Chains A and B, each alone.
Chain A
């Protein structure tokens, strides 16, 4: 067990996986210099055939990932900021997510797309989106959103070793967070949520960057005699609805915290599933805490108002538990 920063856990895992399997290749814009530090040193170690800087051409890079994966490689495509998923979206939505079915299951597409997501750093609307709802709706891609260094390592291994396209979204600006990472070759299976904090009064469900304010809110609520159970989804596709439903069956209440815009967010989907499958257990309405349907503002004071925070989560949860009719 070693204490590591999240970005270091990702970097170490990329080294280990490229070492483990010579078919793993990585390419993307400026991956050699590594803006986030996650691909740092790989180029020196593995050379230009395994890791390569590309021109800025996302529409081509996503298509190349499909072609190279079809050619037998395990492709890691680094898209830098998740907004660039949009510029490369044709090959994601029309090829990566669909070709396996369209070809009658002839191919496997082992592709891991890495991109930083989320706001909080005044990068404005074109560098701070949280695009996982869009990806969840495609059907043919997995979505992993790690929140701890250990999960970052375990989920990345599952993504790279797996035979399906996976979007591995790094919470922007959270790479410095530290945590224990096991030394052995462990993986975190997809579709397995983690109960980070057991509780009996209310279920708080979140993912990625929102886990921190959610856990802080749970801590604060404990001081108000509200015992919150906190669940980290870890992957949104596949989504471990079983763990969420089991928790709601116990607590009767749920608050879902999501950094995506509210309309058709991951939170909306989870809310719909809970309403369908846990309706008889509910003692209060299903609550979503999300980003309003606006583009991420640049001004720090305005940006701060749109991203869910500890106080908001605690206040909404307290109100739900104590005044459910309000």
Chain B
């Protein structure tokens, strides 16, 4: 419980740092913030080991951190430094750490679906009980590969957990303007275990994921979880600079701020006597200090040597 809280707080403070760094002009590219959705990454990844592959989205900082990715290396990546987890070649939308099973955040909406199915196929062939997880949004559920992956994963009984984070927006379009029906009904058509959970309730996510991960590890095939949540920030932090009009108003966001997943889990922890308020506050101070130091270190780190790219395109071959 406390580990999950810690993960969520780490994601929140890291993203607040990146938000501020972006607006201060310290980052070369925009960032897509996961703030408000932390319970989903934390609740699911709590069940996973380094060997379990996860595919993520353009809003992928949270999944990376929840899966044990190094915050210092991630910040350096977003700062486009050679010390970054991808040596500054991927950036915010593409953080990956294969040694921890983070097979990539991805700039193509829905791309993680097929990649995670392939990773699940490899896991199935290895028979070591690994499970692959794909995090994707309600926007990605409108890509054709969603149906294709549900089909092949069900048919082949792949150890795959599909986690749809329904955050109510496809980039700038409200979900109900681009999505017909209920997304979970699409998965139900394949007769696999499906659950709809409150995505701002870490405990609920944790419980749903526990059952799905266990089933997949035991050879029971894929599951689907739709986590209902809300994107507190914009599609991308840079949007204020180029969007010609507003696409939602404050009155819509406010009720969701009251459903903050970190505060909710914090209250749950305190109510259940897991620890005291001072412990949570101390944790926050520790994380804030770590992230501030990481951002300073990232800012001071060298940019990548342009020659590096020649060795990275192919393995053992010039481009």
Contacts and interface: CB of A to CB of B under 8 A. Distances in A.
A269 to B, nearest CB: 14
B273 interface: no
Given A75-B118, A95-B106, 10 more contacts: A59-B145, A60-B113, A63-B113, A64-B118, A102-B90, A104-B88, A106-B86, A106-B98, A108-B315, A238-B318
Nearest to A66: B115
Interface of B: 53, 55, 84-90, 94, 96-99, 103-104, 106-108, 111, 113-123, 125-126, 132, 144-145, 148-149, 151-152, 155-156, 308-309, 311-319
Given A100-B312, A104-B87, A105-B311, A70 B114 contact: no
A63 B132 CA distance: 14
A55 B312 contact: no
A71 interface: yes
Contacts of A108: 315
B87 A60 contact: no
A323 interface: no
A306 to B, nearest CB: 32
Interface string A7-34: 0000000000000000001000000000
Contacts of B90: 102-104
Contact of B98 (A64, A103, A238): A103
17 contacts: A25-B125, A55-B148, A55-B155, A57-B145, A57-B151, A59-B144, A60-B113, A64-B117, A68-B118, A70-B53, A71-B126, A94-B107, A101-B312, A102-B94, A164-B316, A190-B317, A238-B317
Contacts of B96: 102-103, 106
B312 A60 contact: no
Given A59-B114, A99-B104, A164-B314, A67 B121 contact: yes
B86 A103 contact: yes
Interface string A83-112: 000000011001100011111111110000
Nearest to A64: B118
A100 B315 contact: yes
Nearest to B151: A55
A296 B112 CA distance: 34
A73 to B, nearest CB: 5
Nearest to B116: A67
A147 interface: no
Contacts of A66: 114-115, 118
A163 interface: yes
Contacts of B319: 139-140
Contacts of A101: 89, 309, 312-313
B60 to A, nearest CB: 12
A70 B113 contact: no
Size band of the interface chain A makes with B: 35 or more
Contacts, number: 150
A248 interface: no
A69 interface: yes
Interface in A31-77: 49, 52, 54-55, 57, 59-73, 75
B49 to A, nearest CB: 14
Nearest to A52: B156
Contact of A72 (B94, B97, B122, B318): B122
Given A62-B114, A65-B118, A71 B88 contact: no
B94 to A, nearest CB: 5
Contacts of B314: 100, 140, 142, 164
Which of B53, B89, B118, B152: most chain A CB closer than 10 A?
A: B118
A67 B117 contact: yes
Given A55-B151, A100-B312, A68 B122 contact: yes
B248 to A, nearest CB: 29
A57 B89 contact: no
A62 B113 CA distance: 11
A71 B123 contact: yes
Given A60-B145, A64-B118, A140 B108 contact: no
A70 B148 contact: no
A101 B304 CA distance: 13
Nearest to B155: A55
A172 B116 CA distance: 32
A67 B114 contact: yes
Contact of A94 (B111, B132, B145, B316): B111
Residue of A63, A100, A163 ringed by the most chain B CB atoms within 10 A: A63
A102 B115 contact: no
Given A104-B88, A163-B315, A70 B98 contact: yes
